[in-house]
Structure formats: C-alpha cells, structure tokens
Amino acid sequence: MRGVPVSARRSAYADQARAAVAEAEQIAARAAARAGAEWRPGLENATAARLVRELNGRAMFGLPTCGHLPASPGVGWWVAWSPELMRCGRCARDVLVATRGTSEDNRCDGCGRLVGLIHPAILQGGAVVITLGLCSDCEADR
Ligand SMILES: [Zn+2]
Ligand SMILES: [Zn+2]
C-alpha cells in the first residue's frame, strides 16, 4: 500500500494538535489583553473550572460547530453564554458583538444572575479558547 505510514500520519496529527494548542494560547493571551480581561492559563477559579468541565462533557458527545472549523486540529472558540456550538474566531466575535450592550451582557456565566459588574475572562483549554463573564462572587470563588 502506498502513502504515508500510519505512525508518521499520527505524529503529523500530533504536531498539528500541538501547534493548535500553542495558537490557542497566543490567541487567548492577545484577546484578553485587548479586552482588558484577565487571562487565566490555569484553572484556579472554581467556577471557571466547572465551566470547562461542562465544555469537556459537551465536547465528548461531539459539539456541533459553526461550520468553519478545519477538519484537521485547529483552534476552536467556546463562548460560555452560547455553549451549543464550537465556533471559529469570526463566529465567536459575532456572538460577542451581538451580546454587547444587551442585558445578557450582564448575566454571570457561573450563577446565571444579572449583575452590575461582569468580569470578563478568557481561558485556554487545549486547542479551545474559552470566553466567559463572571460576577464578583463567582470571580472570587477559588
Ligand atoms: Zn464560524
Ligand atoms: Zn456568578
């Protein structure tokens, strides 16, 4: 049989996956800096950790995508207040823009309350950039 041996294909896939993780990390850091949000590479926040577990649970059953994500490993975006889709960067931005200025903009992704002040946060979990907004109580939940 011709073609690339399976082991070589696997390692190319692993390289791609590693590159996607590194890219997600950079995107998260840049996006956080632009938004004035705190970038948390770790999960020292209990609410954020719960949201990431929720994402992992959904992803396990195959989260539908916006249709623009490449088939090979690439960076996906998960928006905590619109969790039904894994999105490309552009679609994630569209959700952010659509929410801005609405009452939903002030809803905490941790407890669901409407509050006066939301702390935006951007996390990176594997090759996924995760955006969320937390109230002060959930923000302090360590
Ligand atoms: Zn998209
Ligand atoms: Zn909250």
8 vs 95, higher pLDDT: 95
Q: Which residue has the tokens 């999105």?
A: 87
**DSSP three-state, residue 40:** strand
Report the separation in Å between the CA atom of 1 and the middle of ligand 1, taken as the mean of its atom positions. Answer: 37
Section 24-28 average pLDDT: 84
Instruction: Give CA separation, 132 vs 56, 67, 96, 104, in Å.
Output: 15, 22, 10, 12
**Which listed ligand is nearest to 50 at the C-alpha?**
2
Is a pLDDT exceeding 60 seen at residue 2?
no
Interatomic CA distance for residues 140 and 47, integer angstroms = 9
pLDDT tens string 87-131: 999 999 999 899 888 888 899 999 999 999 988 888 888 888 888
N-term to C-term CA, the chain: 55
Q: What is the pLDDT of residues 50-72, one digit of tens each?
A: 888 888 888 777 889 999 988 77
Residue 101: which region, alpha, beta or left (left: phi > 0; alpha: psi -120 to 50)? left
Q: Report the chain's mean pLDDT, rounded to a whole number.
A: 83
pLDDT of residue 18: 86
Q: How far is the CA of 131 from the centre of ligand 2 (A)?
A: 15
Q: Kindly compute the dihedral angle of the four CA atoms of residues 9, 13, 16, 20, in this order, to the nearest 10 degrees.
A: 170
> Is 141 within 8 Å of 45 (Cβ atoms)?
yes
Judge whether residue 34 has pLDDT over 80.
Answer: no
Give the pLDDT confidence score for residue 113 in this predicted structure. Answer: 96
Q: What are the Cα distances from residue 51, in Å, to 1, 65, 75, 95?
A: 45, 18, 18, 18
Q: What is the Å distance from ligand 1's center to 137 Cα?
A: 32
Strand order in the sheet with 38-40: 38-40, 119-125, 128-134, 76-79
Measure 141 CA to ligand 2 centroid, in angstroms.
Answer: 9
Tally DSSP H helices, then E strands, for the chain. 4, 4
